[in-house]
């Protein structure tokens, strides 16, 4: 069974974590949630999730995909050296990295966006282009192993492309 890891921190965008979590399970993948120190986090709209462990408890080689939800969580995730090292290793192994909304902030800090094409919430468009990426205003953009979307309304397209890439 292919496994997917979803990153979590306080203030995640509720639907951007919950929707992929259940959609990946529905598609037959094993799904784990990794935090950055706490066992439980609350989303922007109040949804509470429990983590299966801290990012340090997981190994990139055990997962076929990494999902980074948006909200305020990416600003916290990007400050963790362990998270950034994990993302760099997933990229090095050419495994799927899927980020939505503000999720690409983590990819900016990990230094993995140079010469890539992606989308994100418009608020960080300048940040991704300054990191060396090409920005497209589309519901979903797939660039090799990188899958990105803009906001919650794009979740059906986002998850469809993740599932397609994993099959």
The set of catalytic residues is 102
Cα separation, 74 vs 62, in Å, equals 22
Q: Which residues pair with 149 in a beta bridge?
A: 100, 140
Question: 3 burial class (0-12, 13-18, 19+ CB within 10 angstroms)?
Answer: middle
CB 29 within 8 A of CB 2: yes
Q: How many CA within 13 A on the CB side of residue 9?
A: 21
**Cα–Cα distance between 33 and 97 in angstroms, integer?**
15
**22, 46 in Cβ contact below 8 A?**
no
What's the sign of the alpha-carbon dihedral 11, 9, 157, 116?
A: positive
């Amino acid at each position: 069974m292919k496994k997917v890891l979803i990153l979590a921190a306080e203030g995640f965008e509720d639907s951007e974590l919950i929707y992929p979590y259940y959609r990946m399970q529905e598609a037959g993948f094993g799904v784990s949630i990794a935090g950055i120190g706490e066992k439980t986090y609350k989303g922007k709209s109040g949804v509470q999730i429990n983590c299966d462990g801290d990012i340090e408890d997981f190994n990139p080689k055990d997962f076929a995909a990494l999902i980074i939800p948006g909200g305020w969580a990416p600003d916290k995730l990007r400050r963790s050296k362990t998270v950034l090292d994990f993302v760099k290793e997933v990229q090095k192994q050419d495994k799927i990295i899927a980020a939505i909304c503000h999720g690409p902030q983590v990819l900016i800090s990990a230094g993995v966006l140079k010469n890539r094409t992606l989308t994100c919430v418009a608020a960080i468009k300048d940040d991704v282009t300054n990191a060396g990426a090409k920005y497209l205003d589309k519901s979903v953009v797939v660039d090799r192993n990188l899958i990105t979307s803009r906001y919650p309304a794009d979740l059906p397209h986002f998850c469809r492309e993740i599932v397609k890439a994993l099959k």
